[in-house]
């Protein structure tokens, strides 16, 4: 099954996590710059508790195995920095502070094996001889995502009220007629490689028309959202842009993936939109997702490979 996720840039993810941590803990969180010889294995720590944070985005990890291995490697290398130079770690967090939780903040993780690995590494650090001076007796490595900051995300990305919807009428037929031929010329070659659509000109044209309507109608919804709820529009646009950054690379050469990609990507984006801006109704998130998918599908340069029926 094709799985499509938001492709966070490392800098964007770090900035995103910093904002959420600052919103939740205020002046009780200290951030550690990494431009001068690195961050020493941690990017932030709380002043009111023995909890540290490291932000990490796995790159080029498109399946469960490669994603999990990349996250294990990040844990292994960064915790090693703390263990190998306990004096430096203590100088950063304070000589009297013990680290009870080292939290890896990552956009997503899929395998229980990562949790098992975190428990094993935690015990390894606790049992090391000599034990690092900063190590709390109950030291644990924790893997988490920004789902732990649901209230902060809702506040940051536009809590406009429950179930916001934007009623936009279907575009007039004259508008559709004026733009449809140009859009269809880009869509049809990508859609007709699908066995079902390619075998029926009627089904092919109907599917193409639906994408074009999503493109026109959704563009109007996004414009209204931008005027009236700019914060929500900003996060929806950023989420879509981030996802599409690596989508062409992921999908290149996927046999017969046109309609499959439309459905998978629409579902994924709609869920991301609602998670990031929970004030938007489920319906609006789905409609906006269809717009962004339609826009990408019209504009992307790739050609999908044929697949036998």
* Domain residue extents for the chain: 10-153, 160-299
User: Over 90: is that where the pLDDT of 231 sits?
Assistant: no
Please tell me the pTM assigned to this model.
0.59
- Of 72-76, 101-105, 187-191, least confident by mean pLDDT is 187-191
Residues 208-235: what's their mean pLDDT? 84
In the predicted model, what is the mean pLDDT of the chain?
81
pLDDT above 50 (res 6): yes
Place of tokens 């080029």: 60
The pLDDT, as a whole number, for residue 216 is 85
pLDDT digits (tens, 9 = 90+) for 106-154: 988 889 999 999 999 999 999 999 999 999 999 999 999 988 888 787 7
Contact predicate 118/143, CB 8 Å: yes
Residue with tokens 């985005």: 57
> In the prediction, which pLDDT does 33 show?
81
Average pLDDT on 202-230 reads: 84
What pLDDT does 116 receive?
97
Place 221 in a pLDDT band, splitting at 50, 70 and 90. confident
Yes or no: say if 268 and 188 are a contact pair by the CB < 8 Å rule. no
226-243 average pLDDT score: 81
In this predicted structure, what is the pLDDT of residue 144? 95
Burial 228-244 (b: 16+ CB within 10 A, else e): ebebbbebbeebbebbb
Confidence band, pLDDT 50/70/90 cuts, at residue 11: confident
Distance, CA of 198 to CA of 207 (rounded, Å): 11
Average pLDDT over residues 149-172: 68
What pLDDT was estimated at residue 165? 73
* In contact, 262 and 269? CB cutoff 8 Å: no
Q: Stretch 181-205: mean pLDDT, rounded?
A: 76
Categorize the per-residue pLDDT at 84 as very low, low, confident or very high, splitting at 50, 70 and 90: very high
What CATH number matches the domain at 10-153, 2.20.200, 3.40.50, 3.40.1350, 3.30.70?
3.40.1350
């Amino acid at each position: 099954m094709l799985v499509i996720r938001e492709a966070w840039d490392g800098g964007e993810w770090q900035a995103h996590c910093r904002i959420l941590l600052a919103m939740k803990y205020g002046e009780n969180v200290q951030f550690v710059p990494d431009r001068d010889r690195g961050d020493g294995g941690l990017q932030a720590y709380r002043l009111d508790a023995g909890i540290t944070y490291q932000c990490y985005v796995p790159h080029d990890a498109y399946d469960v195995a490669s994603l999990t291995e990349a996250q294990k490697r990040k844990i292994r290398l960064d915790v090693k920095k703390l263990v190998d130079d306990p004096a430096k770690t203590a100088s950063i967090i304070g000589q009297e502070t013990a680290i009870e939780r080292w939290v890896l903040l990552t956009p997503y993780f899929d395998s229980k094996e990562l949790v098992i690995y975190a428990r094993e590494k935690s015990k390894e650090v606790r049992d090391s001889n000599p034990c690092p001076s900063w190590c709390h007796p109950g030291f644990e490595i924790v893997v988490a995502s920004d789902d732990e900051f649901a209230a902060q995300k809702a506040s940051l990305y536009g809590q406009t009220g429950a179930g916001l919807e934007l009623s936009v009428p279907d575009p007039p037929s004259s508008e559709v007629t004026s733009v449809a031929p140009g859009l269809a010329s880009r869509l049809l070659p990508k859609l007709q490689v699908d066995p079902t659509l390619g075998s029926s000109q009627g089904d092919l044209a109907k599917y193409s028309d639906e994408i074009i309507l999503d493109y026109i109608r959704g563009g109007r919804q996004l414009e209204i959202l931008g005027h009236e709820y700019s914060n929500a529009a900003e996060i929806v646009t950023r989420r879509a842009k981030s996802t599409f950054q690596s989508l062409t690379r992921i999908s290149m050469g996927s046999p017969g993936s046109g309609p499959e990609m439309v459905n998978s990507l629409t579902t994924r984006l709609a869920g991301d939109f609602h998670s990031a801006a929970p004030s938007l109704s489920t319906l609006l998130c789905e409609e906006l997702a269809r717009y962004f998918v339609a826009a990408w599908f019209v504009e992307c340069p790739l050609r999908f490979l044929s697949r036998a029926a």
